[in-house]
Amino acid sequence: MAREITDSSFASVLAEGKPVVVDCWAPWCGPCKMMSPIVDELAQEYEGQVIISKLNVDENEEVCQQFGIMSIPTILFFRNGEHVDTQVGASRKADLKARIDALL
């Protein structure tokens, strides 16, 4: 299961030293609902290697503003605390795996 993060926990998650994937979503978003099981599967597959997390955009505006998130789902990818990639819109699991593998 992906880890829920917030504006207040965002920086500390990045500081943990592992690659981080942040799924920016909202409960009312249909494509986000489609992506949710895929994100949870990836969290299990990469457990211990990559932090796979979810950020509710309705409740966490700071991170959204910081990264210019205008559409959801948006998935942010971080390596060594630095933003290195962004996926906007629904995506296939294989495509997300390729982006995650590139972080390792």
3-state secondary structure (DSSP) of residue 13: helix
* pTM of the predicted model as reported, rounded to 2 decimal places: 0.95
State how many domains the chain has: 1
pLDDT at res. 14 = 96
pLDDT at res. 2 = 94
CATH number at residue 41: 3.40.30.10
Q: Which of 29, 39, 43, 75 is catalytic?
A: 29
86, part of any domain: yes
Our answer to whether residue 29 is catalytic in this structure is yes
104, part of any domain: no
Our answer to whether residue 64 is catalytic in this structure is no
30, part of any domain: yes
Segment 81-90 mean pLDDT: 96
44, part of any domain: yes
pLDDT digits (tens, 9 = 90+) for 36-80: 999 999 999 999 999 999 999 999 999 999 999 999 999 999 999
Q: Which of 2, 5, 14, 32 is catalytic?
A: 32
Domain residue limits at 9: 3-94
d(CA 58, CA 97): 26
d(CA 99, CA 104): 9
103, part of any domain: no
pLDDT at res. 25 = 97
Task: Decide: 26 and 58 in contact? Cβ < 8 Å.
Answer: yes
DSSP H helices in 15-92: 30-45, 61-66
Sign of CA dihedral 94, 53, 65, 59: positive
Question: To which residue do tokens 């500081």 refer?
Answer: 15
7, part of any domain: yes
Band of residue 7 on the pLDDT scale cut at 50, 70, 90:
very high
